[in-house]
């Protein structure tokens, strides 16, 4: 990571941070946002008003203390936001970028939010990880920032947690992207080299390089992956590859396992997370109206299409497609989902390597889960998070934080999983 105390890069980062902070000084002061920038001498920082901390839930006698056990107040149907933030705060490498104040030196003052969303998010993570255990704080300033970036979140009605997550990460990316960051460029290239993909996927590196020229940030470094869509012509055998970046993956629930809200008879209503991956990467037959226009044999031919992963990210976000919307109906799938807490191996869904077997399997451990309780008519979000200080699981239910073994989780509730890869270390 950057060393703010010395070297040309440190001085340049300091000047950039100071310029950013001066530009938005009045706005931060009005909102009462405290800028915690320990890497910059306090005498050089503009002073912002300290946001009032209101602790709605007192520390309960006999409860275990520790960092990262601060709840988030429900401001009126904001549980969708609270669950997302707690899940992100439970992912050590991403949280660490903000707690060590690297974001101060990476602000893009020409972004739509001029860096204020990243500053608000960083401040909230500081409150969660430095606050009194079992107290609670407000995410109101962050909500206001996101609402300015994505106006649909203005007000206090319920929203989809995954939709909010995407807009939040997109906003943080815009505030923190820097295409000239050589350290991040090298990291992304090393990731592709690390996975040792077969030479027939050589286009993946060029595609990633093109993407990173304008889209490089801590968000992409942490959550960014790459998949390939392979199409094979059944007439001549020609193969084509299209490479696409992703920040999260939406996994379908197999139809044989689907159980809908209100069903009186449930058949095979339990599946494993790997079953969802198998369906996601299953070969699709292109025929009839969907036949492939092959550039090699110049005919419309039957073909197969399959998705595979070229580069799996350090932090993997998995969204389970529990909700379906049509013109005439809205349904929620309440299928019970089995998932590994540790050792989720996705090597079987990755592209081939030069050596055949992956020398470095893509293995993940679970850090947090956003859950949805209830149905389409009315529901509630909360989060189960693994505390890295004591290796215990906690249920973050708005202001209330309680120790809860993950085995107590209702298997029909998991909606968004946050996994961390074992063998990749982020560059900060």
Residues designated as active site: 79, 380
CB burial of 226-248 (b: ≥16 within 10 Å; e: otherwise) equals bbbebbbbbeeebebbebebbbb
Q: Hey, is 325 helix, strand or coil?
A: strand
Residues 399, 71: Cα–Cα separation, whole Å? 4
Going 323 to 326 to 331 to 337, the CA torsion angle's sign is negative
DSSP string, 88-132: HHT-HHHHHHHHTTGGGGS--TTSTTTTHHHHHHHHHHHHHHHSP
- Cα distances (angstroms) measured from residue 395 to each of 5, 87, 108, 360: 39, 11, 35, 33
CB 84 within 8 A of CB 398: no
What does DSSP say about strands 270-272 and 336-338: parallel, antiparallel, or unpaired?
Answer: parallel
Residue 427 CB coordination number (10 Å): 16
Q: Give the rounded distance of the alpha carbon of 210 from its chain centre.
A: 22
Residues 406, 388: Cα–Cα separation, whole Å? 14
């Amino acid at each position: 990571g950057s060393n703010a105390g010395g070297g040309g890069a440190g001085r340049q980062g300091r000047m950039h941070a100071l310029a950013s902070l001066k530009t938005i000084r009045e706005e931060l002061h009005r909102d009462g946002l405290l800028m915690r920038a320990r890497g910059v001498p306090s005498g050089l920082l503009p002073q912002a008003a300290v946001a009032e901390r209101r602790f709605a839930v007192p520390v309960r006698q006999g409860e275990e203390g520790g960092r990262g056990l601060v709840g988030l107040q429900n401001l009126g149907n904001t549980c969708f936001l609270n669950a997302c933030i707690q899940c992100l705060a439970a992912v050590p490498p991403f949280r660490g970028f903000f707690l060590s104040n690297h974001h101060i030196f990476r602000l893009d003052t020409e972004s739509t939010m001029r860096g204020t969303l990243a500053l608000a998010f960083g401040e909230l993570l500081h409150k969660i990880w430095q606050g009194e255990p079992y107290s609670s704080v407000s995410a109101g300033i962050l909500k206001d920032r996101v609402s300015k970036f994505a106006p649909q979140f203005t007000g206090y009605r319920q929203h989809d947690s995954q939709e909010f997550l995407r807009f939040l990460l997109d906003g943080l990316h815009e505030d923190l992207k820097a295409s000239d960051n050589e350290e991040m460029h090298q990291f992304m290239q090393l990731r592709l080299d690390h996975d040792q993909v077969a030479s027939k996927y050589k286009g993946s590196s060029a595609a990633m390089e093109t993407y990173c020229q304008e889209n490089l940030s801590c968000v992409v470094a942490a959550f960014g992956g790459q998949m390939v869509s392979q199409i094979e012509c059944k007439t001549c055998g020609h193969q084509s590859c299209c490479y696409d970046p992703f920040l999260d993956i939406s996994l379908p629930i197999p139809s044989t396992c689907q159980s809908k809200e209100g069903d009186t008879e449930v058949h095979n209503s339990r599946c494993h997370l790997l079953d969802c991956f198998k369906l996601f990467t299953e070969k699709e037959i292109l025929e009839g109206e969907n036949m492939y226009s092959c550039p090699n044999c110049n005919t419309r031919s039957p073909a197969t299409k399959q998705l595979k992963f070229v580069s799996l990210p350090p932090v993997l976000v998995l969204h389970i497609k529990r909700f379906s919307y049509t013109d005439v109906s809205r349904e929620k799938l309440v299928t019970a989902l089995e998932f590994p807490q540790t050792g989720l191996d996705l090597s079987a869904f990755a592209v081939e390597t030069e050596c055949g077997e992956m020398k470095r399997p893509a293995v993940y451990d679970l850090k947090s889960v956003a859950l949805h309780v209830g149905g389409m008519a009315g529901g509630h979000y909360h989060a189960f998070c693994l505390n890295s200080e004591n290796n215990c699981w906690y249920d973050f239910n708005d202001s209330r934080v309680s120790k809860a073994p993950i085995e107590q989780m209702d298997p029909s509730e998991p909606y968004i999983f946050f996994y961390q890869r074992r063998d990749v270390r982020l560059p900060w």
